[in-house]
Structure formats: structure tokens, C-alpha cells
């Protein structure tokens, strides 16, 4: 069996870092991923995909990523359910990241230094 997801998109907000009760780092963020077609009005649509990153990668993402950054995420799709305080059952689909690649350099104060989406900048990732 296989459960593998690869997505490339831009962060819709800064990653949110928190720690479990046992001290394990976990970060969450949402990626806007463009669809391959335009709607009837000629506008490009996007899907907004929730991503969860654990341990050292979580801290790295929280420290080095911010809203608007282009990244690639490789991981697995996870569907989980929970109960709201009102007693309603909810389901959530999210990508649990195994690998996060930064696809452009952080914008500098003097200008926007970016590379194309195909240029993986592994030296930007300190893990």
C-alpha cells in the first residue's frame, strides 16, 4: 500500500509552533496550491491544504518560514476525527510532512531575492 503526497505551494500564514505535553515540537501551517486550470471567469483557483510537521523540522519551519514563502512538502495524507466541545464529530484531512524543502530564498531587506520553483535550496535548511 502507498500513501505519498507531494505538494508545492505558498504559505497562507506563518507556521504555528507548539509543543506536546512530552515536549515534542509540532508546527502547523496551510499551503495555497494552485489548480491546473482557470475558472469560468479566467481566474486561477487554489486549494488550501493543512500541513503538520514534527520535531526538529517543526522548529526549523517555525524559525525560517513565513507567510508567502514557496515550499515543497513530501509526506502522507492523514484523515483524523475529533469531537467538538458541543459534541459534534468532525473530520480533518492534513498532510503529515516527512520532508520540507524551501524553494526560494528569504526576501532580503534590500529586495526580493527569489529563485524559480524548480530550484531547491537545500542549503537553506539546517536539518
Between CA 120 and CA 114 the distance in angstroms is 11
pLDDT of residue 107: 65
pLDDT of residue 28: 97
pLDDT, mean of residues 64-83: 96
Which pLDDT band, with edges at 50, 70 and 90, does 127 fall under? very low
The DSSP element (H or E) to which 60 belongs, if any, is helix 55-64
Which pLDDT band, with edges at 50, 70 and 90, does 58 fall under? very high
The whole-chain average pLDDT of the chain stands at 86
Which pLDDT band, with edges at 50, 70 and 90, does 100 fall under? very high
Q: Where are the domains of the chain?
A: 5-124
pLDDT of residue 66: 94
pLDDT, mean of residues 19-38: 95
CB 13 within 8 A of CB 67: yes
Label the pairing between strands 70-83 and 5-11. antiparallel
Share of the chain above pLDDT 90, in %: 74
Between CA 73 and CA 6 the distance in angstroms is 6
Which pLDDT band, with edges at 50, 70 and 90, does 39 fall under? confident
pLDDT of residue 29: 98
Fold for domain 5-124?
A: OB fold (Dihydrolipoamide Acetyltransferase, E2P) (2.40.50)
Between CA 95 and CA 50 the distance in angstroms is 6
Task: Tally DSSP H helices, then E strands, for the chain.
Answer: 1, 6
pLDDT, mean of residues 65-78: 97
Between CA 29 and CA 16 the distance in angstroms is 6
Amino acid at each position: 500500500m502507498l500513501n505519498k503526497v507531494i505538494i508545492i505551494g505558498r504559505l497562507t500564514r506563518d507556521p504555528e509552533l507548539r509543543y506536546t505535553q512530552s515536549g515534542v515540537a509540532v508546527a502547523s501551517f496551510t499551503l495555497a496550491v494552485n489548480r491546473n486550470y482557470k475558472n469560468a471567469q479566467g481566474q486561477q483557483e487554489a486549494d488550501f491544504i493543512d500541513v503538520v510537521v514534527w520535531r526538529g523540522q517543526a522548529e526549523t519551519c517555525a524559525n525560517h518560514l513565513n507567510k508567502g514563502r514557496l515550499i515543497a512538502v513530501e509526506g502522507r495524507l492523514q484523515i483524523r476525527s475529533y469531537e467538538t466541545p458541543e459534541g459534534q464529530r468532525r473530520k480533518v484531512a492534513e498532510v503529515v510532512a516527512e520532508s520540507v524543502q524551501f524553494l526560494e530564498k528569504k526576501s532580503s531587506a534590500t529586495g526580493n531575492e527569489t529563485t524559480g520553483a524548480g530550484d531547491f535550496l537545500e542549503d537553506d535548511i539546517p536539518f
